[in-house]
Chains A and B, each alone.
Chain A
Amino acid sequence: MRRSPAVRGRGIRKSFGDVVALDGVDLDVASGQVHGLVGPNGAGKTTLLGLLLGLAVADSGRLEILGTTVGRTLAVPDGVSGFVDGPGLYPSLTARQNLSALAALRGHETGQAARVGEALEQVGLTDVADDRLRGFSLGMRQRLGLAAALLTEPRLLVLDEPANGLDPAGKHHVHRVITGLAAAGTAVVLSSHRMDDLAALCSEVTLLATGRVVFSGPVGKLAAESGELDYRVRTSDPAEAHRVALETPGLQVKSDRDPAERPDTDVLVVRGPVPVLDDLVVRLVRADVAVRELAPVVSPLEAAFLAMTGQTDEENK
């Protein structure tokens, strides 16, 4: 099934003085798609999200949102909602008052109370609806920001780091809301530094570096471009595992010292293609060494991110 595009950007360029924030960016987001924006700090993510919300206009290029060409600031069509740089709510008001005031501002007078109550319930804040925001944690504010965006029943939802500060329960709420909206046909564009969130939520990602797109496409394709990964191997006998790994053809042992000399760790780090890793497991079992864990040190998505943005995992750590 092909869906109509919610966002279609071509050759978008945006500068702030001498600083080029976006340099010929193309972006396609289909309705019903959760699209991740990822990139290092200063890559242009926030600028791009700002363009989608209408907070700024591109210096050149073409940006269509929900079928409308956006040519000036604050002129994005109805149906676009979201936030950048925090949810922007008022600490002197309660959660319910914040949403009610926003609903009234947007002209949603009829059924306002029900709409607000529903939005609060969706993000799991019903219990604290009448508490003032000044006592809210960062994660609660993030969820309320999402609730505020939901009031307009968006067709394009733009979120900047929506999982920032969320506890596992809050994260669950936010993920459920986002996937529910996407299932109902809403396009969601979200930026995040958390690769696990992007992997869990997004069907496609766009990777930005210094204002340019270095990758755009399905998450799986990005992961596949990550090349050989470092794997963490946890066993019942680290010293024997280290010896077996050294004897396994085609496998690089990244741990610099024998585990026998380092009783504080039972982890071995190795790198090699998947068949060689299979061979390692077989050899360990034959040597009566139990394999308790075999997992990438960083996720494939993160590895691809680091590789494509020219950052090393060591730097990132």
Chain B
Amino acid sequence: MTTVAAPPRVEAQPAPVLRGYRFELVKLLSQWRIRVLLLACWIAPAVFVVAVSLQSTLPSDTVFGRWMHATGWAGALVVLDFSRSWALPLLTALVAGDVFATEDRLGTWRHLLVAVRSPRRIFVAKGLATLTVLLVLVAGLAVSGIAGGLAAVGDHPLVGLDGHLLSPGGAAGTVLLSWACVLAPTLAFAGVGLLGSVALGRSTMGLLMPALLAFALQLTQLLPLPVPIRLALPSHAFLAWRGLFTSPAQTGPLLIGIVVSLAWAIVATALAYHLFLRRGFTDLAYDGSGRRVLVAGALPLAALVGLTAVLLAVVTPAKGSGIEQAKLQRSLATVYAHLYRVQTRELHRPDVTEAQLAATASCDKGGDRVLDQGPGNDWRCVVSWHLPGTAAVGQAIYQLDVTADGRYVADGDGPKEVNGYFPVRTETGDAPNPLWQFDGNVDLLASTKD
């Protein structure tokens, strides 16, 4: 009788995260859905921007839409404003919302665990792969939109949301920075997607969570919420990039929005991690539970909103809706003065400075019976300025539609020589009148003191 010697013992080691990451990337990129998204994100914005730029009618209801004939940089911002509403939450839903659930559907958890030997590393690898794909998708949206705009219209100065001109180089940097800023809320939605994917298993509800959250937040943002609550929502940074296009930049809401979004991303991902490590992988019929989502997901995130809102109410001067008469007047006068100079140049008149114009605005909301604060389309403003070379004071009337996020559209109501008509007559023919309609942005956090 002989004994066969046992081979030397080799302790099992989990697969390194980098290998797991590559494995997850291969799996993600092999899915037709992800491939279609990649193609769409890298091609569709360019096609859209080129097509719209060639039309006579521009999407003026979208921020910077009215400038798409003037500069190629506006197209990328229109794509950004459209993406923040639907495309980015939808992308996170389709990528992050399914990355764990797909293993449940395919019944591959045991196989993956045997191969990787570490649930922690599986989570990290899946998270990193999701992040990578999302970054490539967002980069595609940005690059494609910019390329389409530059190809169709060209590299020209961009008019900011306070009417000042950004040089092509400045516009390029600010556009790229804006896209970088929306990565933070995209990560927040991705965190929610991971959480839904882990908590709800093979259920399609997990896939829908980021999209449902986006829809709910969009509805919420339409309400005249107090500023601390508005800024405590993870979607605020999707809007706050607009503050980069004023001078000085409205950095307060933007920085708060980014920090809040990153906090959401971290908390949601940590909750997903916690749930993932606690789940049982031996139950093939696992499809999460509604109670688990409520207790382990929704309640902590709701608590985060509450805590953030309280903190912001204490440490910022923000109160009410943040849209106040004095701030609106100041913003409108500033935009008007900047755009007056643009009109002056179009008409080849002698240049003036904003200081010479000394523009002021007087705004009233809804007549005497309504408080002069808050969003609404019933703001009526009179802008006054000193006509260059004379002692006379010019006046122009605007109807303002102010939304709860601080954006407003000023619609010129005369006199017709200044802001009453869309075109102005120049030496070379008719040109768009910059004072006829324009966008502005009120800093919700700014102090009302002059």
A-to-B contact residues, CB < 8 Å: 1-4, 16, 31-32, 47, 50, 53-56, 66-68, 74-93, 97, 101-102, 104-107, 148, 155, 185
Which one, B2, B15, B31, contacts A105 given CB within 8 A?
A: B15
A54 to B13, CA, bound (A): 13
Assess the B115–A90 pair: CB atoms within 8 A.
no
Contact yes or no, A105 B11, CB < 8 A? no
A83 smallest CB distance to B (angstroms): 6
Residues A55 and B12 in contact, CB atoms below 8 Å apart? no
- Let me know if B282 is at the binding interface, CB within 8 A: yes
Q: 1/0 contact trace for B16-30 toward A, CB 8 Å?
A: 100110110011001
Q: Do B15 and A4 touch (CB < 8 A)?
A: no
User: Given contacts A2-B3, A74-B117, is CB(A93)–CB(B15) below 8 Å?
Assistant: no
A68 and B9: CB pair below 8 A?
Answer: yes
Further pairs besides A74-B119, A89-B111: 11, Cβ < 8 Å: A47-B282, A53-B114, A55-B281, A75-B12, A77-B10, A78-B10, A86-B107, A88-B108, A91-B106, A93-B30, A97-B26
Q: Please determine whether B2 and A107 come into contact, CB atoms closer than 8 angstroms.
A: no
In the bound complex, residues from chain B placing their C-beta under 8 Å from that of A91 are 106
Report which residue of B15, B31, B115 has the largest number of chain A beta carbons within 10 angstroms of its beta carbon: B115
Contact residues in B for A77 (Cβ distance below 8 Å):
9-12
Query: Majority SS of interface residues in chain A?
Result: loop
The answer to whether A74 touches B2, judged by C-beta atoms less than 8 angstroms apart, is: no
**Is B26 a contact partner of A88 (Cβ separation < 8 A)?**
no
State which of A53, A56, A92 has its C-beta within 8 Å of the C-beta of B31: A92
Q: A88-B112, A107-B15 are in contact. Are A4 and B6 (CB under 8 A)?
A: yes
Whether B32 pairs with A92 at a CB distance below 8 angstroms is: yes
Question: In the complex, what residues of A have CB within 8 A of residue B87's CB?
Answer: none
27 contacts between A and B (CB under 8 A): A3-B3, A4-B3, A4-B4, A4-B5, A4-B6, A54-B114, A54-B117, A56-B282, A66-B7, A67-B9, A74-B12, A74-B113, A74-B114, A74-B117, A75-B117, A77-B11, A78-B10, A85-B284, A88-B107, A88-B109, A90-B108, A91-B106, A92-B31, A102-B23, A104-B19, A105-B15, A106-B15
A1 closest partner in B (C-beta): B2
Asked if A66 and B9 make an inter-chain contact with CB atoms under 8 angstroms apart, the answer reads: yes
Say yes or no for B110: interface residue by CB 8 A criterion: yes
Closest residue to B115 on the A side, CB-wise? Answer: A105
How near does chain B come to A154, taking the closest CB pair, in angstroms?
A: 11
Are the CB atoms of A92 and B15 closer together than 8 Å? Answer: no
Which of chain A's residues have a CB closer than 8 A to the CB of B19?
Answer: 104-107
B362 adjacent to chain A (CB < 8 Å): no
Is B12's CB under 8 angstroms from A88's CB?
A: no
Tell whether, in the assembled complex, residue B115 and residue A67 are in contact, meaning their CB atoms are under 8 Å apart. Answer: no
Q: Which of B16, B118, B282 contacts A55 (CB 8 A)?
A: B282
Within 8 Å CB of B1, what residues of A? 1-2
Number of A-B contacts (CB under 8 A): 117
Known A-B contacts A78-B11, A97-B26, A105-B115; the reply to A84 vs B110 at CB < 8 A is: yes
Contacts A85-B284, A105-B20, A107-B19: A74 and B111 contacting too (C-beta < 8 A)? no
Q: Which B154-202 residues have a C-beta within 8 angstroms of A?
A: none
Taking the complex as formed, is B14 at the interface, i.e. its CB lies under 8 A from any CB of chain A?
yes
Give B24-51 as 1s and 0s: 1 = Cβ < 8 Å from A's Cβ atoms: 0011001110000000000000000000
Closest B residue, CB atoms, query A3: B4
Q: How far is the CA of A269 from the CA of B118 in the complex (A)?
A: 56
The answer, yes or no, to whether B293 is at the interface (CB within 8 Å) is: no
Do B110 and A83 touch across chains, with their CB atoms under 8 A apart?
Answer: yes
The CA of A16 and the CA of B286, in the complex, are separated in Å by 15
**In the complex, A94→B3 CA distance in Å?**
43
With CB as the reference atom, state the residue of chain A lying closest to B103.
A88
Cβ A155 vs Cβ B7 within 8 A: yes
Closest to B118 in A: A74
Alpha-carbon distance between A104 and B16 when the two chains are bound, in angstroms: 11
Q: Collect the chain A residues with CB atoms within 8 Å of residue B26's CB.
A: 93, 97, 101
Are A104 and B23 touching (Cβ within 8 A)?
yes
Q: What residues of chain A lie closer than 8 Å to B11, measured between beta carbons?
A: 68, 77-78
The 5 A-B pairs with the shortest beta carbon distances in the complex, nearest first, are A88-B111, A88-B108, A78-B10, A92-B30, A74-B117
- In the bound assembly, the distance between CA atoms of A67 and B5 in angstroms comes to 11
* Chain B residue at minimum C-beta to C-beta distance from A81: B114
Contacts of A32 in B (CB 8 A): 4
Q: How many angstroms between the C-alpha atoms of A36 and B295 in the bound complex?
A: 44
Nearest residue (CB) in B for A100 is: B26
Give, as a whole number of angstroms, the nearest-CB distance from B120 to chain A.
Answer: 10
* Bound-complex Cα distance A89 to B26 (A): 13
Min CB distance A78 to B, Å, is 4
Whether, in the assembled complex, B244 has its beta carbon less than 8 Å from a beta carbon of chain A, the answer is no
B111:A87 contact, CB within 8 angstroms: yes
Contacts of A56 in B (CB 8 A): 282
B256 within 8 A of A: no
Chain A residue nearest to B30 in the complex (CB): A92
Q: Is the CB of A106 within 8 A of B115?
A: yes
Shortest Cβ distance from A132 into B: residue: B30
Minimum CB–CB distance from B61 to chain A (whole Å) comes to: 40
User: Closest CB-CB distance, A145 to chain B, in whole Å?
Assistant: 8
Task: Tell me whether B116 is interfacial, beta carbon within 8 Å.
Answer: yes
Cα of A97 to Cα of B1 in the assembled complex, Å? 46
Residue among B3, B15, B16, B114 with max Cβ neighbours from chain A (10 Å): B114
Chain A residues near B27: list those with CB within 8 A.
90, 92-93, 101
In the complex, chain B residues 323-376 whose Cβ is within 8 Å of any chain A Cβ: none
